[in-house]
Amino acid sequence: MNISGRTWGMFAVLLGLGMIYATSVPGGHFAWLMLGSIGWLSFGVGWLIVLGVVLARRGRLVTLRRNWPFWAVPPLVVGLVGSLIYVGAPVRMRFELSRSGLDHLAKTVSEGTPLGKRHWIGLYPVEYLEGSRDAFGFMIEDTGFFGSYGFAWSSSGAPDIDATGYYRHFDGPWYIWIDD
């Protein structure tokens, strides 16, 4: 079966989008990270095998030029996605897309409205939510491997919500909450 270079490029883009989603929360979506890693490993091995076969044949330059999407798109996708993940762009992007919902909740909590039960805050599925008028935090479903990750908000410095976790400043009054 001969799969075109465009098909390989499309698979690389889909795998790249999957990895961006998997890394769009603090600690990453563990199941998606595992699935994406297996997908990239399988894809990379297949790509290298095909590359080896083409390089071993006669007329390899013609084949390389004719199927340039096969040779160019996957490495470009890997480089771009790796760079975005390295600088934390997926986490920042999802946070900014959820910012209005997060800030609205922070405002209502600081005005004394009880937290209540929430299933989603912005684009984040909530596993656990707690806090008071001065600070609150929530854990995001299916994050991390050994611990849970989420966000915390505090009107006065680092939150003091839970003694088992620790916080890393993220943006303004927002912190990443890491619960080991």
pLDDT in tens, 41-94: 999 999 888 878 877 877 677 767 777 767 788 889 999 999 999 999 999 999
Same domain, 10 and 68: yes
Average pLDDT over residues 17-31: 93
Last residue of a domain, one of 87, 106, 135: 87
Which of 17, 27, 3 is closest to 124 using CA atoms?
Answer: 27
Same domain, 122 and 46: no
Is the pLDDT confidence value at 24 over 60? yes
Answering whether pTM is above 0.85, one says: no
Is the pLDDT confidence value at 5 over 60? yes
Same domain, 59 and 101: no
pLDDT at 163: 57
According to DSSP, the β-strands at 165-171 and 124-131 are unpaired
Token representation of residue 6: 């465009």
Last residue of a domain, one of 87, 116, 139: 87
pLDDT at 7: 78
Ramachandran angles phi, psi of 128, nearest 5°: -150, 140
Average pLDDT over residues 13-26: 95
Same domain, 112 and 165: yes
pLDDT at 55: 76
Last residue of a domain, one of 33, 64, 87: 87
Domain residues for the domain of 12 are: 5-87
Same domain, 99 and 41: no
Same domain, 72 and 14: yes
Same domain, 71 and 31: yes
171: Cβ contacts below 8 Å, ≥ 6 apart: 95
Same domain, 95 and 83: no
The count of domains in the chain is 2
The per-residue pLDDT of the chain, averaged, comes to 84
Same domain, 95 and 174: yes
22: Cβ contacts below 8 Å, ≥ 6 apart: 28, 29, 32, 33, 35, 36
